[in-house]
Amino acid sequence: MEKINRTKRCDTDAYKGARARRYAEHHRKSLRTRLTTAREQQVLYRSLADAGFPETALDLPCGTGRFWPAFARAGVKRLIAGDGSHGMLEVAETQRLNDAIPAQLLQTSAFEMALPDESVDFAACLRFYHHLSRPEDRATLLAELKRVSRRFVAVSLWVDGNIAGNRRIRKPAPEVVAGYGKRICQRREDVEAEFDAAGLAVVRHYDIWPRIAMWRLYLLEA
Ligand X SMILES: C[S@@+](CC[C@H](N)C(=O)[O-])C[C@H]1O[C@@H](n2cnc3c(N)ncnc32)[C@H](O)[C@@H]1O
Number of residues that bind ligand X (CB under 6 A): 20
CB nearer to ligand X: give 10 or 219. Answer: 10
Stretch of 8-16, 68-76, 93-101, 188-196 lying at the interface with ligand X (CB under 6 A): 8-16
CB nearer to ligand X: give 53 or 111. Answer: 111
Phi, psi (deg, nearest 5) at residue 193: -70, -35
Site string for ligand X, 46-85 (x = CB under 6 A): ---------------xxx--x----------------xxx
Non-local (6+) Cβ contacts of 126 within 8 A are: 40, 44, 59, 61, 67, 154, 155, 156, 217
Residues between 87 and 106 that touch ligand X (CB under 6 A): 88
Least distance to ligand X, CB of residue 206, Å: 15
Residue 142: what residue type? L
CB nearer to ligand X: give 127 or 205. Answer: 127
CB nearer to ligand X: give 12 or 98. Answer: 12
Indicate the DSSP class of residue 29. Answer: S
If one asks whether residue 137 binds ligand X (CB under 6 A), the answer comes out as no
Report the 10 Å Cβ neighbour count for 129: 23
Phi-psi region of 214 (alpha: psi -120 to 50; beta: other; left: phi over 0): alpha
CB-based contact 91:21 (threshold 8 Å): yes
Overall size of the chain counted in residues? 222
- CA–CA separation, 94 vs 40, rounded Å? 21
Residues between 101 and 130 that touch ligand X (CB under 6 A): 109-111, 126-128
Least distance to ligand X, CB of residue 219, Å: 16
Least distance to ligand X, CB of residue 169, Å: 20
CB nearer to ligand X: give 137 or 170. Answer: 137
Contact set with ligand X (CB under 6 A): 10, 12, 14-15, 61-63, 66, 83-85, 88, 109-111, 126-128, 179-180
